[in-house]
Amino acid sequence: MGLWAVTAILSAALVYYGAAVFAADAHTYKAGLARDRGDAEGFLRENHAALKAYPYATRPTYWLGISYLDAGYPEDAMTALRQYERRYPHANRIDYELGRAQLALHHCGASIQSYRAAVKMEPDNFQAWLGLAIAYSAIGKSELADKAASRAVSLGSQAQTAYYYNSAPLRTKPGLARYLVASGLLRAGFYGEAVAELRKAVEESPGSVDYLTVLGAVYLQLERTASSNQAVSSLRNDAEKTLRSAISIDDKAIDAHGYLASVYLEDGRKSEARVELEKAISLTSDQNRLATFRQMLSQTE
């Protein structure tokens, strides 16, 4: 093969390589935009497209695992994250991301190990401390969970970690640590453990409408999956009592009215559901909420 032919082949390869990298970068940019606007499916789709264009692109290889997590596919996330570890053994550690995936898969022991490694590497990592607290709580290690959650809240109330809360530090109040842990337990599917944490949060901050509303919503979720009529009745009563408590504190608690309407609908109490829905509709201008409430309202006719 002559020099001219070799040069032509190399030139073509470089052009192809450049085009592939450019296409991957474009999809990676779009992936970032998708994540910024909370579009989990778009984030996942653009990362796939980036890797299809150029399979060795570093950032989308890492982001693919994150996008699977954000979209609710923890098994795929674990596969992608392990692939990233193998392909880039000298890159930054991804213990926090592994902890998230392991917790979502209910591999609590492994999740704790990953989160512990994450906070060892980054002692000021708010999210890693919170993840560690959630994992400890999921297996009943309350004292360790409380310590990790307290550390998370202390970090979350400082300006340097405000990124996680829309550029505003956490507003600390009694029960906040338990509320944050409960929210994480809910996302990971540990409903019973979440109820226990939320009850403690309400005890520590009895006047918190937020805590009461979320607790009532969890009771409602558990009621829908209960296996016996007795359990259904008990959980429905708990949901109604808790949501009524929230509304007695703040009659403008939109979500509490909406969830209470759901309780009434499931109990066949249509006229009471209508009252709650009309109140909720009068209080909100959010189009998504309005659509949901109006659809529920049609069920009361």
pLDDT tens-place string over residues 90-137: 777 889 999 999 999 999 999 999 999 999 999 988 889 999 999 999
Query: Number of structural domains, the chain?
Result: 2
Tell me whether residue 192 is in a domain.
Answer: no
Tell me whether residue 100 is in a domain.
Answer: no
What is the 8-class DSSP label of residue 91? S
Exposed (0-12), middle (13-18) or buried (19+): which is 169, by Cβ within 10 Å? middle
Tell me whether residue 255 is in a domain.
Answer: yes
Phi, psi for 119 (deg, rounded to 5): -75, -25
The arithmetic mean of pLDDT across residues 79-91, rounded, is: 83
For 249, the token pair is 């504190």
Q: For residue 40, is pLDDT > 60?
A: yes
Tell me whether residue 248 is in a domain.
Answer: yes
Nearest-angstrom CA–CA distance, 266 and 262:
6
Least confident piece of the model among 63-67, 107-111, 133-137, 296-300? 63-67
> What residues contact 83, with CB distance under 8 A and at least 6 apart?
61
What is residue 67's predicted lDDT score, i.e. its pLDDT?
A: 85
Tell me whether residue 116 is in a domain.
Answer: no
Choose the final residue of a domain: 91, 125, 155: 91
Instruction: Report whether 210 contacts 173 (CB < 8 A).
Output: no
Choose the final residue of a domain: 91, 117, 134: 91
What is residue 20's predicted lDDT score, i.e. its pLDDT?
A: 63
Max mean pLDDT range (3-12, 105-114, 224-233): 105-114
The arithmetic mean of pLDDT across residues 25-30, rounded, is: 70
Tell me whether residue 144 is in a domain.
Answer: no
Q: What is the pTM of this model?
A: 0.76
Q: Sign (positive/negative) of CA torsion 24, 26, 27, 32?
A: positive
CATH code of residue 3: 1.25.40.10
For 65, the token pair is 């695992």
Phi, psi for 222 (deg, rounded to 5): -65, -35
123-127 long-range contacts (CB < 8 A, ≥24 apart) are 124/155, 124/160, 124/161, 125/96, 125/155, 126/152, 126/155, 126/156, 126/161, 126/164, 127/96, 127/152, 127/164
Q: Kindly report the CA angle at 152 between 222 and 120, in degrees rounded to 5?
A: 115
For 142, the token pair is 């309350």
Instruction: Report whether 78 contacts 102 (CB < 8 A).
Output: yes
Nearest-angstrom CA–CA distance, 98 and 116:
11
What is the 8-class DSSP label of residue 109? H
Tell me whether residue 38 is in a domain.
Answer: yes
What is residue 31's predicted lDDT score, i.e. its pLDDT?
A: 66
Tell me whether residue 1 is in a domain.
Answer: yes
3-class DSSP assignment, residue 9: helix
Please report which residue ranges of 108-175 form alpha helices under DSSP H.
108-121, 126-138, 142-156
Q: Please write the tens of the pLDDT for every residue from 208-227.
A: 898 899 999 999 888 888 77
Tell me the residue range of the domain where 286 lies.
207-301
Choose the final residue of a domain: 91, 112, 146: 91
What is residue 64's predicted lDDT score, i.e. its pLDDT?
A: 81
